[in-house]
Structure 1
């Protein structure tokens, strides 16, 4: 089916690939031939003054290392707070916690750690207030590498701060664990992997503010275009926020699971924000207007034909 010169319901072997991550297939070769650089070390040393950091394979590994340093027992609890306080929490987070102890979405008598998920680039706003619990705090900034809140406190409150590089950079692996120096973290990533991560992040690190502007521009464009069919963003975009995805609300008559399956068949990575009539799609800086138009046409086609 051809709609405005976009192919709908293509052959399964001829679908495009639009990821939440800005990583593209061409980056495999680009990254391979980048010259080694460790200038990202200087960036992180300046950004995280008086704290230490280590590179990890991914964000999950960083979470695991952080939890391993907090002397958790099986009957202890990690309390998870999120930006929306929605039921949804990634299994990547809960599965790591379950290796050590229990978890809850509220403060329990046995809560020993607070885990804050800055959801999809939209940070938790009352971060400083959590210090009143006098508990160790882990900040999950996987989607919030260049986002902040009104307190300007993102990545500054946690005893540990987690980053996932593929969420923001065109790379397939890599995470960062930032931690207070009182914790004895002696994790060392494989030398070759660490150097690969460092050369890629170093090459792109001075572009992050431009990327943030591009993401915000894409978010605004999608929001304006989709509003014409009664679809609106779940989050209000603010000047200090860099969106990790475009999250949108749909009407009650739209089956989000079916829309998710359809968009995946169209080559668009997406998911459902469960317990709400909400979904999310890519919004990263490498998407052009025409790519966004494709997303819009796919959503319109689904609504009009179901």
Structure 2
């Protein structure tokens, strides 16, 4: 008798879903002169061919007509929204093509559906329909027609023929083993391998730069907590909170960290102490006036570092100021409390966060990274400008139009339906970690010096994918369909 195997063999069907690598989408300018100057010669030939053949275009609301030239009527939209436009191409009395365009942002239309029959393809009616959209929306609020993107070579080649402005895009997040990890802080795995350099007298340089005595502390939360404890506030003291941006989410973060001991209230002048936060690198305009009053002020300078010599710089207004080196350099640990030097005994007995090993490591790493500030600032500016260039293609603007110092983040003013929380959730699936304030609908995007142009394109491309109405489409697997 033959012994049966204990294993049951069955066919496992794994469907390939790509579109998880960065590629280029195609925008077509809706300014005829700009578009014509940038179009490829092959696209111009198609437009001229249709014009010479006598193709005419009319606007319609009848979806049954475009269904006659759409490759699969079952996938066509069933209703036409008021803001959508349907154009039909005719050769004499014969319907030969159609196109539907849909607004996707304040300045961008999307080539949502487009089809032609054999007669239309013979005279390149689709090229003429695209050009008709350019002429129709010239001098409108729309700047671009998003012709589209495809991960199929022949279709991508077709889209690129009409590209006058490329942009980066990807639809799906890479798999776990190939997904990057990009956060606001520049630390990465590679930063664990560093070589000690006795290059600068770092304590002297820091005291000169911050124009104050200071105390090394392990991290930003403990530096801020130490500043509060240094004020000898009573338990359940009320702390007034002013933040330049994202005040609601910042106040909530303070509650989460220190709410068991202190009570935080936004813009409360009758408080026992005040925290002024220059959040995301933007100066809090009330810092100087609040510091002139009798209530002690702590400046949270976690997100600011650079200033010009001689300026009344951020961090010089309050009784204490807190700075976070991990926001600026590829360091795991390191913050300072500026305004006073506290001996180890105080850090141990009063602040309860003495860590001499970390302090020594932080000082050694600062000798490497502190002299690199100017070079790193240049990279941050380049990243910020690339973000601005890309988001401008969608009509989206930074919340801080003209940063006065090297940017900590690119702070984007989100717009419905792409709200800050929707963007944050989308980007996290791609390994991109951000901060948001939903009350102000702003999102802080990574901008640090460990990022280059390719990283910024990946971040934008991950968001840009969701703007494409077709980004959720997945072709049916014929193997599964037949199983």
Q: TM-score, normalised by structure 2?
A: 0.58
The CA distance in 2 between the partners of 1:125 and 1:151, in whole Å, is: 15
Residue in 1 aligned with 2:231? 70
- Residue of structure 2 in register with 1:136 after alignment: 296
- Say which is worse superposed, 88-97 or 12-21, in terms of deviation: 88-97
Match of 1:127 among 263, 272, 287: 287
1:149-208 Cα shifts (integer Å, max 9, x gaps): x97331111111101111001101111111247999832632221111101011111111
Aligned residue-pair number: 300
Of 454, 460, 465, the match for 1:290: 454
CA distance in 2, matches of 1:268, 1:295: 7
SS at match of 2:189: coil
* CA shift in 2, pair 1:96/1:185, >3 Å: farther
When residues 12 and 274 of structure 1 are mapped into structure 2, their CA distance, relative to the original with a 3 A threshold, is: same
1:93 matched to 2:112 = no
Q: For each residue in 1:76-108, what CA deviation from the matched residue of structure 2 results, as whole angstroms up to 9, or x when unmatched?
A: 311011113742216553334424321111224
Shift of 1:268: 1.1
Question: 1:29 aligns to what?
Answer: 193
State the 1:257 CA deviation. 2.7
Q: Secondary structure at the match of 1:13?
A: helix
**Alignment match, 2:215:** 54
In the alignment, the residues of structure 2 paired with residue 169 and residue 271 of structure 1 have an alpha-carbon distance, to the nearest angstrom, of: 18
1:242 alignment counterpart: 406
Is the 2:320–2:339 Cα contact (8 Å) retained in structure 1? yes
Of 117, 121, 124, 2:277 maps to 117
> In the alignment, which residue of structure 1 is the partner of 2:201?
39
Secondary structure in 1 matching 2:373: helix
1:88 is paired with a residue whose SS is helix
Query: Counterparts in 2 of 1:139-288, with a 5 A limit?
Result: 139-146=299-306, 152-180=312-340, 186-187=346-347, 189-238=354-403, 240-288=404-452
- The answer as to whether partners of 2:245 and 2:282 remain within 8 angstroms in 1 is no
Structure 1 residues without counterparts, runs of 5 or longer: none
Task: Select the structure with the greater relative contact order (CA < 8 A; seq sep ≥ 6).
Answer: 1
The C-alpha deviation readout for 1:270-292, integer Å capped at 9, x for no partner, is: 13222122212101122111111
SS of 1:267's partner is: coil
Greater Rg over alpha carbons, structure: 2
**Aligned pair 1:83/2:244, yes or no?**
yes
Q: Distance in 2 between matches of 1:190 and 1:184?
A: 9
Which residue matches 1:9? 173
**Structure 1 residue corresponding to 2:463, chosen from 281, 299, 303:** 299
Gaps of 5+ in 2: 1-18, 25-168, 349-353, 473-483
**Residue 74 (structure 1) shift:** 3.2
Deviates more, 1:162-171 or 1:292-301: 292-301
**SS at structure 2 position matched to 1:218:** helix
How far has the Cα of 1:36 moved from its partner?
A: 5.5
Is residue 299–residue 315 contact of structure 2 (8 Å, CA) maintained in 1? yes
CA contact (8 A) 1:122 1:242 kept: no
Q: Distance in 1 between matches of 2:294 and 2:251?
A: 25
- The answer on whether the counterparts of 2:302 and 2:327 sit within 8 Å (CA) in structure 1 is yes
Q: Which stretch of the first structure deviates more once superposed, 191-200 or 81-90?
A: 81-90
Q: Deviations over 1:21-68 (max 9, x none)?
A: 1112111112xx32466722111121233x321111101101111111
Q: Give me the CA root mean square deviation.
A: 2.6
Distance 2:203 2:346 in 1: 17
- Cα distance in 2 between the residues matched to 1:203 and 1:91: 35
Report if aligned partners of 1:139, 1:155 keep a CA contact under 8 Å in 2: yes
Matched-pair contact (CA < 8 Å) for 1:62–1:176: yes
- 1:142 Cα shift? 0.7
Which has the higher mean CA deviation after the structures are superposed, 111-120 or 182-191?
A: 182-191
Supply the distance in 1 between the matched residues of 2:459 and 2:324 (Cα, whole angstroms): 25
